[in-house]
Amino acid sequence: ENGAHQSLYFCCTLHNLYRYLNMLEWVLELFMAPLYVGAKYWMLILASFVACQASYILGHVIFLNIEGYKILSKEDQVEWQTRIMSTLHALVIFPFVAYVVVTDASLRNNPVFGVNPWSLFCLCIGIGYFFSDFVQVVRYRIKPMAPIIAHHLLAGWAFLCCVSEMGIASWYPTYLLLTEATAPFNNTHWMLTKLNMEHTKVAKYIGMGFAASWLLFRVLNNPYLLYQLWAHWNELITGCPVYGQILLFANVIFLISLNNYWFFFGPFKALVFGTKKEKEEAIEADGTKIE
């Protein structure tokens, strides 16, 4: 009987050791993903990162000629530059992403194993931007730090892993990049508020555009994303690395939860249609710099 118990204990120990080794393998694969990114993709990523960093410096020099910008606090000037870069990134990325999502039926019908070169291009540009903005947020402690850092690290590393696997499951992060449609409205509205122009007609129209784009690209598009996950669940589980599955599901859950909370329960009305004080309180409480 003792021999049987010892054998059972030994088998359980081996099983637990096997599980720990598997977990260690997943962690190693997760952090070694950059080693498997091709040289041409790294060139795109680095070019995007350097361009973003350079734009912060050049933008500051250019906007010093604007009276309203000069009287802003140092913190607001820093955030102004990050929002300019956020807007430029969105204007570059969104047309390509929308084109891929709308026109590439083969990628849409095979979201796990299908590959589109423009999709990988967008992911590389996004990686450079997310990591560049991450540096700015940490360096200048731009609020709210927690959700911005979580979003940028999750999205940036997930994109990196996707590119390292030669585009496996690339349709999902490409589809999530449609949320960039809200950035120009969001950032312009913030700038107008800082320039005391929040009650102008332009600000009102931009606010309505912000609300409409958020509803369309961050709320109403979620069911189709979830359907694509459900329809291709077996392919994701069998064809996508475990660390890739974890990153994908973490990004989807985080973004859907944040976007819906912020739209339905956050101070959206105050931000878009409220007074300057209400807008600033809304920005301070929840933050609006979520790409």
Residue 118: how many other CB atoms lie within 10 Å: 15
d(CA 67, CA 287): 26
DSSP conformation class of 185: H
- Which pLDDT does position 282 carry in this prediction? 60
Q: Is this prediction's pTM over 0.75? A: yes
> CB of 271 within 8 A of CB of 282?
yes
% the chain with pLDDT above 70: 80
Structure confidence at residue 52 as a pLDDT band (50, 70, 90): very high
- Which pLDDT does position 36 carry in this prediction? 77
- Which pLDDT does position 86 carry in this prediction? 92
Give the contacts of 120 (CB within 8 A, at least 6 positions apart).
41, 163, 167, 170
**Phi, psi dihedral angles at 262 (to 5 degrees):** -65, -35
Averaged pLDDT, 223-240: 92
- Which pLDDT does position 153 carry in this prediction? 87
The token pair that represents 206 in the structure block:
């931009």
Structure confidence at residue 146 as a pLDDT band (50, 70, 90): confident
Give the contacts of 191 (CB within 8 A, at least 6 positions apart).
80, 83
Q: Comparing 143 with 25, which gets the higher pLDDT?
A: 143
Residue pLDDT, tens place only, 278-290: 666 665 554 455 5
- Which pLDDT does position 285 carry in this prediction? 52
Residue pLDDT, tens place only, 63-119: 888 888 888 988 899 889 999 999 999 999 999 999 999 999 999 999 998 889 999
% the chain with pLDDT above 90: 39
3-class DSSP assignment, residue 244: helix
Residue pLDDT, tens place only, 150-168: 888 889 888 988 888 766 8
DSSP conformation class of 142: P
Averaged pLDDT, 246-257: 89
Give the contacts of 286 (CB within 8 A, at least 6 positions apart).
144, 262, 266, 267
- With a cut of 80, say whether residue 26 has pLDDT above it: no
Give the contacts of 55 (CB within 8 A, at least 6 positions apart).
81, 84, 85, 88
**Helix 145-164 / helix 117-140 crossing angle, nearest 10 deg:** 150
- With a cut of 60, say whether residue 7 has pLDDT above it: no
Averaged pLDDT, 265-289: 60
Mean pLDDT of the chain: 83
Among 42, 248, 253, CA closest to 157: 248
Give the contacts of 283 (CB within 8 A, at least 6 positions apart).
190, 271
> CB of 149 within 8 A of CB of 70?
no
